[in-house]
Structure 1
Amino acid sequence: MAGLAVRLRALGAEVRVCAPSDEEFAKLLARVGVELVPAAEPVRTLVTGAAPTAEGLPQRAAAMVAAQYEAVAAAAEGCDAVVATGLVPAVAGARSVAEELGVHFVYVTYFPTMLPSPHHAPYPLPLHPLPPGTTDNRELWELNAHSFNALYGPGINAHRMRIGQPTVDDIRGHVFTDRPWLAADPVLGPWQEPADLDVVQTGAWILPDERPLADELVAFLEAGEPPVYVGFGSMPMHGSTDVAQVAVDAVRAQGRRVVVGRGWADLGLTDDQDDCFVVGEVNQQALFGRVAAVVHHGGAGTTTTAAGAGAPQVVVPQLVDQPYWADRVAELGIGAAHDGPTPTFESLSTALKVALTPETSARARAVAATIRTDGATVAAQLLLDELSR
């Protein structure tokens, strides 16, 4: 979203970003001079806190609709368009604001399998697992629509009634619209046709990062062969009590040094050996071009950044879109998909052996040359063109 905001501003538009109040988001937007209107509680609180009970999920969804509606209403005053992404209840709240203001609304997702298609299955929703043995994608998406209605419908429709808007029968269609945008690279995350939705694939929205790497990190990189980066971003890795130790041991077993990304799992050094270096917030665009491989959770941003840098990847997927990105990395031959969310020394070593081969490295460099960097520009121009019409 920051990448889109910067490109819109370069084309002469005024932009506000309404995002959760996490310190990371505030610093990011401040760095590029984009106005932030804080929305609701920090994402980090949601991710790292206790998981809601089955009974509590619908209530949490209902509260999120209302909170997001209030925040976006404040942010969107005087605006001509609302572009929304994220959790379904939050997007529903944003769409209600757009309806109320009578302005253009765009829903965007960062991975293809969020959207209904005969070419892939949906990801399982909380409390609504996919039925075993059912392989017909259209049937699975029909069940998915019912799950959307059951999980999110009561809260969304109760809020719409409170603010005087009509209720909706198809929650998924209401949130996604009939012309959603897909902000994913067409090589890394292609949208397959024919499909039922009129999907607009813009390419990934990349915010160029010009920050230099810290002197201490540069010195570490230059002190030996390229290390392996290990970091799991916003994933707390609750299922892995010793994930830092497992990762460091597996990388060392391949004869490599390690750069550990602290992230929301709060990874750190496992001993005082000089073959490990810990980083917090870092310019991944600059760092990933200088490492032998990237071990990560498979978020859309990290996967795209590593692919663009030509770095082989090991994806340890945790949830939602991450299994999709793990599969794409393996299918493209630019790395390995770890089997499951909980790495062991043996399983991670197996994946690293694939990622660190010369063949994988060569393939990663070849694919990097095809990754587009103009997705945010394409999207910004498209949005302004739609508004002018």
Structure 2
Amino acid sequence: MRVLLMSYGSRGDVEPLAGLAARLGSYGVDVRVCVPPDEEFAKVLEATGAEVVPFGMSVRELVSGPKPADPFATAKVLVAEHFETVGEAAEGCDAILASGLLPAGVPSVAELRGIPYRYALFQPTSLPSPHYPPLSRPGKPFPPGETDNLVLWGLDGEKVDALYAEALNTHRTARGLPALTGVRDHVFGDRPWLAADEVLAPTDRDVVRTGAWILPDPRPLPADVTAFLDAGEPPVYVGFGSMALRGASADVARASVAAVRAQGRRVLLARGWAELTPVDDQADCHVVGEVSHQALFRRVAAVVHHGGAGTTTTAALAGVPQVVVPQIVDQPYWASRVAALGIGVAHDGPVPTYESLSAALGTALEPGTAVRAKAVAQTVRADGTDVAAKLLIDVAG
């Protein structure tokens, strides 16, 4: 049996697929994975034994470039890649599971190949609901004053069609498939999979719940990081993962280091795609590169991060208080969940200042927050990849 997994997005969209690929491999399934061509993504996946097929543009170049990419041009390129590169990768596969940035062409690839297709989300707020509005999306602004969520979700569907429908239907009709509208719902299917923990991300939508897809990371911490941790009280970790923080990196690093020091704590500053660097050469600040968050987070006093689904879940499993400084897309949702569960603080806005981060850390470092974080950690499940692997094996038949 062979399955194709695909995702276009940041590290947080790729690493869950690596977790699923590893679990599928343990059941004897051959796994092929289509992801962006960024080198670090290939490294994560190759360690699982999966075959990696790069497609599309480098995500790091897109988010770190001098100006934001044109979303309409990007959508057109990606749809072509869905039919071409992903379509070729689907040859010989028994099922396709897609995730990440809307894979508009992938259901059509499955249709052409005559194989099952499933779509997985890593958070519930992309699912239409009367209880909350759509996430921000490029295109025509919503009418001022419109508050009916179902109306807004209908308009969101029109935005998706404006982004993808023309390119999608060009490729469909060229291959003998009928044109369609309602691209968003076409991609989601009848019951999308929700690969998120039920405690961290509750929903009343009709989905297949698998739990979060976590890739075990047994790597030991680098010697310099271990030495820093051993040299004093647990530090505060500050990192923004695959977020580039366009033009704000120096200010964020300066504010973060000062705010952590004001709490009497040392700082672990994660370089990340934002290229955070120390503001001085004092010994209480140490820069960390690519390391196992699973090993590291259990040894810090708090985690300040961007609010990606994976980082939020890893910190929750570690039982460590969080300060979420959301940047884009679903990250405000994860910030709100951290605050609602009492396991940390949702920062107001994407660029922390000394004052705002000091206030957030003051709450996160209170003893009660740590107690609550440890309690919630006991309720978070870590077997989502096993659940999903068995479901996908059944789908592939």
- What is the TM-score with the length of structure 2 in the denominator? 0.93
Q: How far apart are the structure 2 equivalents of 1:164 and 1:128?
A: 31
Task: Provide the residue aligned with 1:34 in structure 2.
Answer: 50
Q: How far apart are the structure 2 equivalents of 1:175 and 1:50?
A: 31
For structure 2, the residue ranges without an aligned partner over 5 or more in a row are 1-16
Q: Which moved more, 1:110-119 or 1:155-164?
A: 155-164
1:185-334 correspondence to structure 2 within 5 Å: 185-192=197-204, 195=205, 198-238=206-246, 240-241=248-249, 242-334=251-343
Conserved 8 A contact 1:329-1:336: yes
Q: How far apart are the structure 1 equivalents of 2:228 and 2:294?
A: 17
For residues 289-339 of structure 1, the C-alpha deviation after alignment (integer angstroms, 9 at most, x for no partner) is 100000000011101100110111011101101000000000000000000
Quote the offset at 1:239 in angstroms: 5.4
Quote the offset at 1:129 in angstroms: 3.7
Which of the residues 156, 164, 171 maps onto 2:176?
Answer: 164
Q: How far apart are the structure 1 equivalents of 2:231 and 2:272?
A: 24
1:138-153 correspondence to structure 2 within 5 Å: 138-153=150-165
1:69-80 correspondence to structure 2 within 5 Å: 69-80=83-94
What fraction of aligned residue pairs are identical, expressed as a percent? 61
Quote the offset at 1:72 in angstroms: 1.0
Conserved 8 A contact 1:62-1:159: no
Quote the offset at 1:10 in angstroms: 1.2
Conserved 8 A contact 1:311-1:364: yes
Q: How far apart are the structure 1 equivalents of 2:279 and 2:320?
A: 25
Quote the offset at 1:32 in angstroms: 2.2
Conserved 8 A contact 2:272-2:289: yes
For residues 350-384 of structure 1, the C-alpha deviation after alignment (integer angstroms, 9 at most, x for no partner) is 11111111011110000001110000100010111
Task: Give the count of matched residue pairs.
Answer: 380
Quote the offset at 1:67 in angstroms: 1.8
Quote the offset at 1:154 in angstroms: 1.9
Q: Do structure 1's residue 182 and structure 2's residue 194 form an aligned pair?
A: yes
Task: Provide the residue aligned with 2:394 in structure 1.
Answer: 385
Task: Provide the residue aligned with 2:5 in structure 1.
Answer: none
Q: How far apart are the structure 2 equivalents of 1:372 and 1:260?
A: 28
Task: Provide the residue aligned with 1:103 in structure 2.
Answer: 115
Q: How far apart are the structure 2 equivalents of 1:18 and 1:57?
A: 20
Task: Provide the residue aligned with 1:376 in structure 2.
Answer: 385
Conserved 8 A contact 1:160-1:167: yes
Conserved 8 A contact 1:21-1:40: yes
Quote the offset at 1:115 in angstroms: 1.1
Q: How far apart are the structure 1 equivalents of 2:341 and 2:143?
A: 29
Q: How far apart are the structure 1 equivalents of 2:342 and 2:112?
A: 47
Q: Secondary structure at the match of 1:311?
A: coil
Quote the offset at 1:281 in angstroms: 0.7
Q: Secondary structure at the match of 1:15?
A: strand
For residues 99-119 of structure 1, the C-alpha deviation after alignment (integer angstroms, 9 at most, x for no partner) is 110111010110100111222
Q: Do structure 1's residue 124 and structure 2's residue 136 form an aligned pair?
A: yes
Q: Which amino acid aligns with 1:234?
A: S
Conserved 8 A contact 1:240-1:343: no
Conserved 8 A contact 2:267-2:284: yes
Q: How far apart are the structure 2 equivalents of 1:181 and 1:57?
A: 26
Quote the offset at 1:122 in angstroms: 1.0
Conserved 8 A contact 2:270-2:288: yes
Q: Which amino acid aligns with 2:333?
A: Y
Quote the offset at 1:52 in angstroms: 4.6
Quote the offset at 1:156 in angstroms: 1.9
Task: Provide the residue aligned with 2:4 in structure 1.
Answer: none
For residues 85-131 of structure 1, the C-alpha deviation after alignment (integer angstroms, 9 at most, x for no partner) is 1112xx12222211110111010110100111222221121134444
Task: Provide the residue aligned with 2:38 in structure 1.
Answer: 22
For the structure 1 residues 130 and 304, does the alpha-carbon distance in structure 2 shift closer, same or farther, using more than 3 Å as the test? farther
For the structure 1 residues 162 and 58, does the alpha-carbon distance in structure 2 shift closer, same or farther, using more than 3 Å as the test? farther
Quote the offset at 1:132 in angstroms: 4.0
Q: Do structure 1's residue 357 and structure 2's residue 366 form an aligned pair?
A: yes
Conserved 8 A contact 2:194-2:211: yes
Q: How far apart are the structure 2 equivalents of 1:120 and 1:253?
A: 37
Q: How far apart are the structure 2 equivalents of 1:267 and 1:40?
A: 27
